[in-house]
Structure 1
């Protein structure tokens, strides 16, 4: 669940096509959940055949050809599970929306099977997790097929301020499927790139601050960062219990909503989810093509102005929303925006040490038992673990005391108050708004292993709109809005706690009328040539 801190099977090349809505593409690799379910129910497609196609695409696109490095591991039992789901299809009187649908999990989400859960680190490869994360239990209970684990920024991008997003010692550097020298952004980089490239139908990412929104936007897909406590975090390698959450990443709002429906709900292992069952619902009920009509949406210009392509696409999106009946309030000031960064960093450093040590206690078979052990491991394995950047965030976190420290409790209280009641909620109330709007990020940057990422969320001078809802624990959703120089650009809607239904309705209404999604072209560089996939 990455930090972004202000201080710190088609076997030929996919060609550019006229704009489609994700799911309209005829190939099963890019088909929507609804289309796949229709084909399966009609007997025209089996889960086994779909799983086989995805495994072949992973081989031809991810591990050969463009070599995205988006998938860190495939499930060795995927085809056996698919065959069992196919046999059970006729027997199941009620099937969930993801029945037989392959799903990738970010490699910080536990699975109690033969796959590893490593957070991308070589230190975590001694043994698999003892049991499924709670959200994985829910996915399996609804008939979803766990296809594998997606690559990520190692330790969810909370090891160094100079890290390259999408790099892990175990999985290498994930690459953008739109231009291979560009960065997929955020720690859920592999989830975003895999969904965009048609390697899986949907994926699960995690976010502490920006790691669902940024890779979704950079890879031209939809990402939902839920309200903190709507989706259980038990069994997920943590950064911060105040900000961590998992969420769906998909090529359409409909697929993201269907996936959120399955994974949302209370879990006794995660106290933050105590109210989740009262708010969790069938989010596909809010897929209204007229979802923008009458909605009051405020434009946070403080989160724009960093990148001209993003600003242009934002203004085009605003015009489209007005045409569909939205009431746009522009600009809207988000109070205390520049005051969040320092308090957030203090909270994350304290909680990372505390939460990670607790998590490691749930992983029998690992040689590392604490953050201190991980720091020592990285020092011993520096050639493999730290070839480009160090572990200064690990070291800063290790130096922190207990969660009873006044420095922590005061920073936490400040961050929560300024981001939520005095920030997002105040802006919504002042203008009677349903949601706030900003650019997700500009076109993604060139991957730079030497200097690290060129984009930091939460800093209005650089770009990114993830910080306010991340610190507040409020929901946000990014949607494709256009392209600049062959690269996707998205916009983000965010609102108050438990406002997922409203945000999904707004995002779906926008998506249905803009139809901005396009399949990736696997260019070697912006303006370059497509890289052929291997037959």
Structure 2
């Protein structure tokens, strides 16, 4: 019900927000001249949202959308801007002036800041059109240990277009599902550890987590200043690169982006020409997991890479002792610090100003907020105040993933990239017991904690459930990683599944 009511309330909120910044929106694009392909595409995306999100399988990927998007798309197309009116859905922890930014929580339901995150300002300046906001795992999946990915109190449960009873993964679940279901040209997600690449892999699309510092985090609901970044999600590597080009750049308010302008470029340039001929690629076999279907897909993908000219180098990597406990300690310390700083900037009345306020709100509204799982991680964050222990954990894990991790693996093996399956196939949704672990596929935490680029590209499906192939490299090697992914995309021989919009059934699936 919140899902639909928020849409019905949109026109008033939309006009109010536009008036506040001196813009006048139009809800049609009836101008003299030829029809606008961008406007027609925007209309088609809205029809897809109405057919699949509001009705039909009710995927719950989109929280709110702008019915005036076709007019905005037509205007951007007429102005000849790079994205030419391409529509983009934005994860609902990134501020846009026309919509509330809720992070999926009822505590932020009224969080109308009337400001754009700098990355959204760049998107609009490049001719991108914000079509709406996507659902997410509430608080980007940092609230409780037994959470169900894709669920939030604001948006409900997001469902996977390929199997509606299976997870969309988190926390950019709505962004991944919406792209897979053809509701938008591209979407923006955010990642701290796997929250772009996991939903991209499981929904069968391309997702890119850039080097931390390439894209501004200002006015984005935070978890970790060390690991947080926004990133693009789309059907193809080229579209993903185009969106990244619009998003990337330095922001004086985000010190991590001081060097971003040096590395921001046209990330779509050279993708079609790049060749893997003679390129040495490291294969992280220990991170392929034990699912035989996933490993069969990986074998096909590796054959494709070899046919494209790549030289494959098997690499063994073992996670260091104590790695995962240290990782959680870092996130909990930074969550309290960074969330308090963000909440203090919110201009509205009646909004939480500290993480403690959020915890208190959840207890006061437990029937809705805490119905399916608790908030033990938020509460643990309030107690994570030992800065010396935090610094030690941070430095140890940064070293383990950078100089003793990705940097060492690349140098010692003389390889340009590391590859592995992104994650196991989608698991069954279980709101009572929470997410289930897979069979060990994936090495994305290396890139997430290091702050290095990580691209996932679809490599096929196991019984109709998509699985992606990860490409990782060193800091600021974003463009090279995208080129490698595009080359693999051209060489890929496996068939990709089409969304069924039905629950998974072994009777209706082949062995893709």
Report if TM-score (shorter chain) is over 0.5: yes
- Partner of 1:483, secondary structure, is strand
Give 1:311's match in structure 2, choosing from 279, 295, 316: 295
CA contact 2:280–2:417 (8 Å) conserved in 1: yes
- 1:342 deviates by 1.5
Q: Does 1:288 align with 2:272?
A: yes
Using the alignment, how far apart are the partners of 1:529 and 1:483 within structure 2? 14
| Change in 2 beyond 3 A, CA 1:506/1:85 | closer
* Change in 2 beyond 3 A, CA 1:44/1:528: farther
Pick the aligned partner of 2:41 from 43, 50, 74: 50
Tell me the distance in 2 between the aligned counterparts of 1:290 and 1:423: 26
Question: How big is the shift at 1:386?
Answer: 1.1
Number of the residue aligned with 1:261 = 245
Paired residues for 1:342-491 under 5 Å: 342-365=325-348, 366-401=350-385, 405-455=387-437, 462-491=440-469
Q: 498, 502, 508: which one pairs with 1:519? A: 498
1:103 partner SS: strand
Residues 143 and 376 of structure 2 are in contact (CA less than 8 Å); yes or no, is this contact kept in structure 1? yes
1:141-174 Cα offsets, whole Å, 9 max, x none, are 1111100001000000000111010000000110
Which sits farther off after the overlay, 369-378 or 287-296? 287-296
1:95 aligns to 2:84 (yes or no): no
Segment of structure 1 superposing worse, 343-352 or 280-289: 280-289
TM-score normalised by L of structure 1: 0.86
Q: Is the 8 A contact 2:102 2:111 kept in 1?
A: no
RMSD: 1.7
How far residue 305 of structure 1 moved from its aligned partner, in angstroms, is 2.5
Residue 288 of structure 1, CA deviation: 3.1
Q: Which has the higher contact order (CA 8 A, sep 6+)?
A: 1
Q: Which residue of 2 aligns with 1:500?
A: 478
Q: What is the CA deviation profile of residues 177-229 of structure 1, one whole-angstrom value per residue up to 9, with x for unaligned ones?
A: 01111111120000000000000010000000000110000000000000010
- The 8 Å contact of residues 289 and 508 in structure 1, kept in 2 or not, is answered as no
Match of 1:231 in 2: 215
Deviations 1:393-434 (A, max 9, x none): 0000011226xx201111111111111011111111101110
CA drift at 1:81: 2.5
Q: CA deviation at 1:484?
A: 1.1
Unaligned runs of 5+ in 1: 1-41, 531-535
Paired residues of 1:104 and 1:147 also in contact (CA < 8 A): yes
Q: Map of 1:27-38 to 2, 5 A cutoff?
A: none
Once the two structures are TM-superposed, the CA of residue 463 in structure 1 deviates from its matched residue by 3.1
Structure 2: state its 5+ residue gaps: 1-32
Task: Count residues in correspondence.
Answer: 475
Retained in 2: the 8 A contact 1:130–1:363?
no
1:340 paired residue number: 323
Deviation at 1:77, TM superposition (A): 4.0
Report the 3-state secondary structure (helix = DSSP H, G, I; strand = E; otherwise coil) of the residue aligned with 1:284: coil
> For 1:234-279, what per-residue CA distance to the aligned partner results, in whole angstroms no more than 9, with x for missing partners?
1110000000001000000010011111111111111100001111
Any conservation in 1 of the 2:196–2:207 contact (CA below 8 Å)?
yes
Separation in 2, partners of 1:65, 1:505 = 38
Which residue in the other structure is 2:228 paired with? Answer: 244
Q: Distance in 2 between matches of 1:185 and 1:232?
A: 24
Q: What is the rounded CA distance, in whole Å, between the counterparts of 1:529 and 1:172 in structure 2?
A: 27
Question: Is 1:75 aligned to 2:54, yes or no?
Answer: no
2:255 matched to 1:271? yes
TM-aligned CA distance change 1:45 to 1:455, over 3 Å: farther
Measure, in 1, the Cα distance between the counterparts of 2:454 and 2:499. Answer: 24
Most deviating of 240-249 and 503-512: 503-512
Tell me how far apart the structure 2 counterparts of residues 423 and 153 of structure 1 sit (CA, whole Å). 29
Contact 1:335 1:427 in 2 (8 A): no
Larger mean Cα displacement after TM superposition, 54-63 or 75-84: 75-84
Match of 1:197 in 2: 181
CA shift, 1:49, in A, is 2.1
Contact 1:290-1:324 at 8 Å conserved across structures: no
Contact 1:350 1:401 in 2 (8 A): yes
**Residue in structure 1 matched with residue 200 of structure 2 by the alignment:** 216
User: Deviations for 1:310-334, whole angstroms, at most 9, x for unmatched residues?
Assistant: 111111111111111000001x123
Alpha-carbon distance change, 288 to 50 in structure 1, aligned in 2, over 3 angstroms: closer
Aligned with 2:159 (options 167, 175, 186): 175
Q: C-alpha displacement at 1:514, in angstroms?
A: 1.3
Q: Distance in 2 between matches of 1:82 and 1:137?
A: 15
Q: Which one of 88, 94, 108 corresponds to residue 109 of structure 1?
A: 94
Distance (whole Å) between structure 1 residues aligned to residue 121 and residue 59 of structure 2: 28
Q: Is the 8 A contact 1:257 1:504 kept in 2?
A: yes
3-state SS, counterpart of residue 506 of structure 2? coil
Q: CA deviation at 1:80?
A: 4.3
